[in-house]
Amino acid sequence: MAHPSFLYGTAWKEERTAPLTRLAVEAGFRGIDTANQRRHYFEQAVGDALEAIYREGKLRREDLFLQTKFTYAGGQDHRLPYDPQADYPTQVRQSFASSLEHLRTDYLDSYVLHGPSVGRGLSEADLAVWKEMEALCRAGKTRVIGVSNVSLGQLHLLAESAEIMPRFVQNRCFAANHWDRDVRRYCAERDIVYQGFSLLTANVHALGGPEMVGMTRRHGKTIAQLVFRFAQQVGMLPLTGTTDPRHMREDLASSTFDLTEDELRQIEAVGVR
């Protein structure tokens, strides 16, 4: 399926992962983001929820957009989804196979590198992992591939060596740097979809000012709805990880109104000092 306009993020949910995934789908989310990283995600519980939904005949696999990630051992705890002594291509294949099993599917809509192995530049490991992800994409096991937690410089380096460009870039999005404007601009120029996460939690102090409060009154919307609508209107694919069913519905309703160009400019600059 084509990607939806909103993703539900399943990080940091632990034993609530399955019921919250179910609530999100019932609220109307059709895109689910997870990772095969037991330290912060419970990927198998996402699959448990989806399996029950399929079994009840409420939705089919093809009605959903499923995205998960390969995470290096440095970002994992002891519950690794691969042999840490294996070479990187083997780790990718093992992690991918484990994800398919967890999510009860034979393909993914998007498979994402959960961040380069180094803080600056790209390592040989990153290039080897990306090459294996390209092979999975060519084989039709994942429809597209992407990368998360990445800098503009790292994107430039990836573009130089990649045979298949990332379809998605997923970053934590800070208002203080114009909502990652440089990376978003790079993505827009290359038909890469920018996925923004922590849009609310990373920007709490920037979002309580008079401009935002005035907008909530004018539109009769919440701060969260303004932020998510801003994200969508500037070409971003936002993630929300809310655990509140009412907020799930409100977040999805963000697409039912429009901000003016002036309001978009105000939100773009809201956290910049």
pLDDT tens for 128-168 read 999 999 999 999 999 999 999 999 999 999 999 999 999 99
Enumerate residues 6+ apart whose C-beta is below 8 A from 75: 37, 39, 114, 115
Return the H-helix or E-strand segment holding 233: helix 223-233
Confidence band of 273 (pLDDT split at 50, 70, 90): confident
pLDDT tens for 196-218 read 999 999 999 999 999 999 999 99
How buried is 79 (Cβ within 10 angstroms: 0-12 exposed, 13-18 middle, 19+ buried)?
exposed
Is residue 42 pLDDT above 70, yes or no? Answer: yes
Indicate the average pLDDT of the chain.
Answer: 97
Q: Three-class SS of residue 57? A: coil
Q: Report the Cα 200 to chain-centroid distance in Å.
A: 14
Residue bearing tokens 């809509």: 109
Residue type, 251: D
Contact 74, 35 (CB under 8 A): no
Domains, the chain: 7-268 (3.20.20.100)
As a whole number of angstroms, the distance between CA 61 and CA 204 comes to: 36
The pLDDT value recorded for residue 172 is 98
As a whole number of angstroms, the distance between CA 246 and CA 138 comes to: 40
Mean pLDDT on 85-108? 98
pLDDT tens for 69-93 read 999 999 999 999 999 999 999 999 9
pTM of this prediction?
A: 0.97
The pLDDT value recorded for residue 1 is 61
Is residue 2 pLDDT above 90, yes or no? Answer: no
User: What angle is formed at CA 10 by the lines to CA 240 and CA 182, rounded to 5 degrees?
Assistant: 50
As a whole number of angstroms, the distance between CA 61 and CA 59 comes to: 7
Percent of the chain with pLDDT over 90: 98
Enumerate residues 6+ apart whose C-beta is below 8 A from 267: 211, 212, 215, 226, 227, 230, 259
As a whole number of angstroms, the distance between CA 262 and CA 259 comes to: 8
Mean pLDDT on 96-120? 98
